[in-house]
Chains A and B, each alone.
Chain A
Amino acid sequence: MREISEATVRDAAQGSVEAFEAIYKAYGPYVYNVVYRMLHHADDAQDVTQEVFVTVYRKLKTFGFRSSLKTWIYRIATNLAINHAKKREREQNRTVALDEKMESVLASNPADRADVRHAQREQVSALLEVLNADQRACLVLRDFEGLSYEEIAQTLGINLNTVRSRLKRGREKLLAFSKEVIRHEM
């Protein structure tokens, strides 16, 4: 990740489009990854990424350099992604049925597909669908972005014990789901 100087942040806060583009180039792919893993839908991920950076642009003047810019942007991204995921679930009134999730995982067997990467992506998304939005945010920040527990706590505005318990419960769910999948395969 390229470093963004304080001067660039200040220029962007004053309305410099060039400075803001540098910020987008530095953090855009990370935000998109987090949001995509949270939502598992390319169009939604693009829309939310757009909202994240418009929000960052509007609020940049209030950024006080008390935390890192990366953490600050991640916080905006995870908040918007969690809200979007919860809203979508409410609107569709759905918690994807366990059978439906298992079908996704079983169908994503790389041996049956030429595109192994696509199959892996589908498998990962299906696994993440098992989790609720809060657990998913913790796992995505930890396992995809490599944030420490402390950074996750700061990003999500929760304490360390909550980070730990969400990771534990999320991973327990994944293990239980995996056992169900194996049972269906046999």
Chain B
Amino acid sequence: MKCRDVREFILTDYLDERMSGDAQTALERHLAECGGCREFEAQARQVVMEPFRQADRLYPPDAVWEKIHARILEENQARAGSRLGAFWAGLSSRVPLPKPALAAAALVGVMAIALTFTLHRLPMQGPELARLDIEAEATYVAALLDGTSAASVSESGENGGFGTAIEEYFL
């Protein structure tokens, strides 16, 4: 093994204890014979290993979690808000919701249909009844003017006509 290769292994696999078997045996045999590489190894341990291994562990202050906590609560609120918005967006895309003017027009239409239907189902009254009364009156007056007994016939039925003494006296 050459010194250059040995030193490369020292800075990586050897110091990091990744060597084993024949490679490690060969490297250690070289170290036993080479003073320069032994010195290099000692120096490497002192400079690139010890300061880091002796370093104390650091702990984050409580304020770090408090800030994270506050931010994820904000995230949760934002998520909840966007879920509600998405629900409405999804609903309106599946079921087209009417605009106010259209909704009002549709409501008036429905009410008109309902009113007509209701009136049609009730006994005759109101304008229709009045129209029939006028027609009956007109027929009666016309009958009187014609001197026919249509009116009396229609009104008196089988008892109508000049069948009484009083009627005969006046007419």
Contacts and interface: CB of A to CB of B under 8 A. Distances in A.
A120 B76 contact: no
Interface stretch (A3-11, A48-56, A68-76, A82-90): A48-56
Interface string B47-64: 111011111111111011
A32 B12 contact: no
B31 interface: no
B171 interface: no
Nearest to A164: B12
Interface residues of B, number: 34
Contacts of A96: none
B16 interface: yes
Interface residues of A, number: 37
Given A29-B57, A143-B52, A168-B12, A21 B65 contact: yes
Nearest to A28: B60
Interface in A1-29: 15, 17, 20-21, 24, 28-29
B44 interface: yes
Given A21-B69, A121-B56, A32 B64 contact: yes
- Do most interface residues of chain A lie in helix, strand or loop, or is the interface mixed? helix
B60 A49 contact: yes
A57 B16 contact: no
B132 interface: no
Nearest to B71: A54
Contacts of B115: none
A153 interface: no
A180 B121 CA distance: 110
B105 interface: no
A178 B50 CA distance: 13
Contacts of B72: 17, 20, 54, 57
Interface in B16-47: 16, 18, 43-44, 47
- Do most interface residues of chain B lie in helix, strand or loop, or is the interface mixed? helix
Contact of A168 (B8, B52, B56, B60): B8
A124 B68 contact: no
Interface string A34-47: 00100000000110
A124 B56 CA distance: 10
Interface string A90-115: 00000000000000000000000000
Nearest to A57: B72
Contact of A143 (B11, B53, B63): B53
B57 A171 contact: no
A168 B69 contact: no
A29 to B, nearest CB: 5
Given A28-B60, A164-B12, A144 B65 contact: no
Contacts of A24: 65, 68
Given A50-B71, A120-B54, A120-B55, A171 B44 contact: yes
B99 interface: no
17 contacts: A15-B76, A28-B65, A29-B58, A32-B58, A32-B60, A45-B60, A46-B64, A50-B67, A120-B56, A124-B52, A142-B16, A144-B55, A149-B18, A167-B12, A167-B16, A168-B11, A174-B48
Interface of B: 8, 11-13, 16, 18, 43-44, 47-49, 51-61, 63-65, 67-69, 71-73, 75-76, 79
